[in-house]
Amino acid sequence: MEQKHPSDIFDEALTYLWVRLKLEEKGWKRLKKGDFKKRMKNGLTYIIEFTGRRYNYLDHETGEGSIEVNITFTICMGDDVLFYFRINDPTGWFQLLTVELQLNRKLLDSFIPLIQTNYLDFIDHFEDTPHEALQTICKPVTQPDDYSWIIRVDERMIENYGTQEQMEEYRRQKDLFETPESKVRQWMGMQIFYLSRGGDVNHAWAASRTIEELDTVVGKHVRAKKEYGLWTEMDEAGYQLYLQEQDVEKRTYRAWYLIGNPRNLPKEIVNQELDFRSKLFRESKEQP
């Protein structure tokens, strides 16, 4: 069997997506460096950009390798990014190799419906009736409940192509997005996404806690921060989300969000955090 280099796997992955997404027949161009691009007469440019990690390697003698990539999907006006879509991964990078050192087509197949729905179909709808396409994304950030992908929309996208009502809704959503409750909801939600999929997380331990046990740990931390005058609006917002969570594993992750990396608190609280950390993470005692 012919031995492949990392560049071969990378090119194979790009070709696979190029064909499966049928981009050539839609007028897209494949650039020499690998990215996909389509320029429109109205000045907009659609770009699918691939970024490989600098230390990608493939060693056939040892049977080891790692070829990781980031993929972003944008709509740009000049250098300004008006629309941004990304599929999330707990590590921040997608591994293109299988254990047999072949292209992970199953991974790429899982991307296809997400790319089609959230990017290519949106573009088709946007080109036909811009204001209708924008109706579902009249806010700075759109994410599903599991935080597996994210769409960011710049205000100029709505200003240039939306209606006055959509512009007002976007600005209302932007104000809401800046509230402590909204910020903490997003940050805590992203942490749950990463922890629930993290390879170094002891999921069994997280799922086997009791609410009473978690409440005791969190309660000590809350009382200490209030006693030392360190309790903030962000803390309160996170605490309320913690109290509402009924899924034990997710409640454990929310507890970690609240107690992790304590600052200027008594040694008892610091030791409590260290004990919680050592049980939540399998091998590393560092927060991912």
Enclosing H/E stretch for 77: strand 68-77
pLDDT at 146: 82
Are 182 and 176 in contact, with CB atoms under 8 Å apart?
A: yes
Tokens of 257: 């969000």
Q: How many residues does the chain have?
A: 288
Answer whether residue 80 shows pLDDT above 80.
yes
Per the prediction, the chain carries an average pLDDT of: 92
Global pTM?
0.81
pLDDT at position 203, please? 95
CA distances from 144 to 62, 117, 176 (A): 40, 13, 17
pLDDT for the residue 288: 37
Question: For position 283, what pLDDT does the model report?
Answer: 64
pLDDT of residue 171: 96
Give 212-269 pLDDT, tens digit per residue: 999 999 999 999 999 999 999 999 999 999 999 999 999 999 999 999 989 999 999 9
Residue written as token pair 């390879």: 199
The closest of 87, 53, 49, 51 to 67, measured between CA atoms, is: 53
Contacts of 50 (CB under 8 A, 6+ apart): 10, 14, 34, 35, 69, 70, 71
Asked if the model's pLDDT at residue 34 lies above 70, the reply is: yes
* Spatial CA neighbour of 155 closest among 176, 169, 136: 169
In angstroms, the CA 288 to CA 70 distance is: 18
pLDDT at 287: 38
